[in-house]
Structure 1
């Protein structure tokens, strides 16, 4: 069975995108799914969570631009069942260089094709922008998750991003199913938080039943490179991301069954 490729994307920064991608990938792996995390962001936040020594030899740039074999670029992490394709600042050059490449939108999908059957899920952590690399990554995705902070600007950003992605869909560049919008940094005690959640639902968007609570401990988890399943993880954040992971697994299993019926 081909891996489900899940893009975690939002052009707005500071919404917990990389934190969500890392914890989803770790949660899937610890839930028994063979998982690959692909860091598509030159900032390399996902990479740094698993590679504190910054000893990356081959990265996403080498995979897409230089044609390095995907097996050589992929590396193990400290979590069983979770592997990583890392990113470095070199990946920033891809936005410009992809523009001149033949069939640029398909480059990541083509690069990953040899290993599709080796994983149950491939999680893509995308840059917070609307550049060519983001478009190329979205082209490779089967499913899309949009994290956003619980603010008015967050809701506005989600709708802007989805309008932009709808244009890609019209041009058949993007075919990924929108799994849902994930509300992060959520405090149900604030009026803004509640209004944002209700507003996203009233916009007709699929919103995950799980919300990620606003916790100062999130910064400590990043600083100490702690993810879901680690004993040092904040209990509230760990529980939230565990519930979110179960939601994602359930939605993907349902989508796979429906595709199977359709093909039959």
Structure 2
């Protein structure tokens, strides 16, 4: 099986990247013959450095942007030319390889249809074209929730090809001592509400900040509660968001990106 893993070389792989890593690990643990498909990279992290288990990797001759556009517009190169001998292709994001083999696609959400204003015109055009291809080319469409399945049906995808498979969660054992050490290092003396994600408009961080201001202004028992924001900076810059962060002062802790152990 060929699995598209190029998302892991994006500047911010996000939740889709975690999904790919965990799925690859699970498949390898079950001795499923799986190989990764990527674009051409120069001076990039190794597969192991981006979290992938030991598995065969095959790369296109094209860099990411050219590869994605060529797949969507020209139908080339075919996945089976990148990975000879493959019998099934899994597109783990909207990057759909051209292929004559059975194609499974994971559709994490249809956010670009629900809120197109949070995406660039180029992004919306790309997602729309990918959705057209999913509708006509995919043998199976994997979605993480019934809500996304309903969105897919509303968008014209045949329900018979939809499979609701919730994303798995890997729990990590954490000791009380590790928790206390982390809290001390980060200055987290009070209880807190945790938000984690990429700071971009569609995540509605502004709505969370406004809600937290209302909470501490209107409820006396919120005096011992902080807000912790975890994650790398994304695109978008909001003056109101900055003003609220300043207003909240030391009640908000911005950690930046954490590794998986710290996040646990």
Query: Given the two structures, how large is their TM-score scaled by the length of structure 2?
Result: 0.40
Q: Which has the higher helix share?
A: 1
Give the structure, 1 or 2, with the largest relative contact order (CA under 8 Å, sep 6 or more): 1
Q: Which has the larger radius of gyration?
A: 2
Query: Given the two structures, how large is their TM-score scaled by the length of structure 1?
Result: 0.40
